[in-house]
Structure 1
């Protein structure tokens, strides 16, 4: 089987869990001897050769062909001035200008060029690049032989739709997050429409959790039978023996993720303040960046816990491993988390985890303490308990590491392949 897969990023150049999930899935599919044509807007040249990579920036299209004109006119153009994150979509939108058909005369002429150089970034021209990516996808679908199309998240949904229109092959869309997860009640209608259109055009949908499937059914009006839940996994289930050593005498409790509404950083800070009232021999770390960072710094100052609270900024690679290794407890208090791979990485480092009940990973990680994101009293009690009762902490470390063995990308790839077969059979 040959799969034409559209993503937006691929390791080592990632800014969220989407690229990591794509990497894991593609690597798992290698074990199934599946041919994957993986398309990204821009290749950087240092990607691990796991697939037949296609650099959308090097694809030449013939815009004069009628089919491409029709696809282009069906796409919309939106200028966005705020920063966008691919896995989570827009964290905030400062200003929207105009929404209109692409055949407007004042749209940047460069987008109509036979070859278009994508930035590979997520700035103000992202929506234009998403639309152009769809046009390139149609050209790739025309040129590359394939059996099925797989598009990851909303940035690639228009590309998947365009590829299906050209080749007539079935489309599977993979929902790693929805606009409701990203923004709560402040849903951006343009992004919502892209998501809804992708789900409706798809022949089948993969959701990363039952939580995500419930949102797809209830908020987007998609029939339940059209959605299959396939949880994410870890790249390696073995426990990491890291040589990092703490440079402070206190216990360390860590939050690692984007500092945005979805991740619930404010609840972590409020719980930290409660713990510190009971035990001052603790340091709290908030590792990451995001639109709520300054607000969180101010709140820590207001609570007068700044001497026990550290903001590291965005971490990646070895710094992430070291942070997990020196942590005594990892907390993920997400308000709405479609899945959440970071707790699994914490378990790999033998770090006990506390996760919100409002996360997809709670569906597969049984040996973790689970609390409602808003229940800061329960969160504080859980942190205090793991720090002070070694037997409880040891139990969660041992049982959590056993669970990881069931969460391999090879198994995920098998389930995805079954979904492909079911979709292909249904479309015969």
Structure 2
């Protein structure tokens, strides 16, 4: 069996959770089947392709194809740039199953389904109807991203929600979607990747660099500076937290200069 994973983010260009999800999923699937990842942000080198766990015993393979925005769309609305990449991906899909992630890849997935007759699976990481602030980024392009996502979801053969709450949101946003097609597959972690480092591990130096007390309870935020992550709300609530708890914010990749400034001011 062959699967094409369509994704905006993929190493070395990962800035959010969807990229992490796509990377980890592709590696595990490649232990079992042949996987081709079709991603944005240009061509990849062999060194950019993640290693397959247990590669010696792997029954599948992992290939990565990267796509650039067409030069004719260099100055276009971001949504149109996305569609320019999607058209290239849809043309190239060659698999038994298409697996698309986020609105960025939805148009490519749906067009490839129609063009090649290939079943389409979508994993829902977020939903455009519940992110109206994206109009700040895309302007009228938000209408295009919303249309592409809606059309793809309503014609997908299967939609994977990462939680029960996400499944409820999907069916609220897209009531024409058959509920029997929407299933929940929870996100997970590889516990071995989160073992406590040895006392002499050089990684501990980050605590020294930022004056973080290893002995104190810690509230840790890790994520992009974007509306749906709720960082401004967290900052407003910090005065309610015990002074015995230290707060560490690992926040980056702001969606817009405006929200970056808002977070800096709130901090």
Alignment TM-score, normalising by the size of structure 1: 0.49
User: Out of 151, 160, 184, which is 1:206 matched to?
Assistant: 160
Tell me which structure has the larger Cα radius of gyration. Answer: 1
Counterpart mapping for 1:13-412 below 5 A:
13-31=13-31, 33-41=32-40, 42-45=42-45, 46-48=48-50, 50=52, 51-57=62-68, 110=72, 125-141=77-93, 144=94, 146-183=95-132, 188-221=142-175, 222-242=177-197, 243=201, 244=204, 246-247=207-208, 248=211, 251=216, 252-275=218-241, 279=243, 282-289=245-252, 290=254, 291=256, 292-300=259-267
Aligned counterparts of 1:164 and 1:34: Cα–Cα separation in 2: 20
Displacement after TM superposition at 1:256 (Å): 2.0
Is the contact between residue 255 and residue 268 of structure 1 (CA under 8 Å) also seen in structure 2?
no
Aligned counterparts of 2:194 and 2:153: Cα–Cα separation in 1: 37
Which residue of 2 is the match for residue 383 of structure 1? none
Q: Which runs of 5+ in 1 are unaligned?
A: 59-107, 112-118, 301-428
Which residue of 2 is the match for residue 384 of structure 1? none
Is the contact between residue 27 and residue 51 of structure 2 (CA under 8 Å) also seen in structure 1?
no
Q: Which runs of 5+ in 2 are unaligned?
A: 53-61, 137-141
Cα displacement string for residues 326-345 of structure 1 (whole angstroms, at most 9, x for unaligned residues): xxxxxxxxxxxxxxxxxxxx
Secondary structure of 1:174 counterpart: strand
Secondary structure of 1:254 counterpart: strand
Cα displacement string for residues 124-171 of structure 1 (whole angstroms, at most 9, x for unaligned residues): 653223222232123213xx3x21211111100111112112211211
Is the contact between residue 137 and residue 162 of structure 1 (CA under 8 Å) also seen in structure 2?
no
Cα displacement string for residues 386-408 of structure 1 (whole angstroms, at most 9, x for unaligned residues): xxxxxxxxxxxxxxxxxxxxxxx
Displacement after TM superposition at 1:284 (Å): 2.7
- The structure-2 alpha-carbon separation of the partners of 1:295 and 1:126, relative to structure 1 and needing over 3 Å to count, comes to closer
Aligned counterparts of 1:29 and 1:255: Cα–Cα separation in 2: 30
What RMSD over aligned residues (CA atoms) do the two structures have, in Å? Answer: 3.0
Aligned counterparts of 2:129 and 2:145: Cα–Cα separation in 1: 10
Displacement after TM superposition at 1:208 (Å): 1.5
Displacement after TM superposition at 1:193 (Å): 1.6
Aligned counterparts of 1:16 and 1:165: Cα–Cα separation in 2: 29
Aligned counterparts of 2:250 and 2:212: Cα–Cα separation in 1: 19
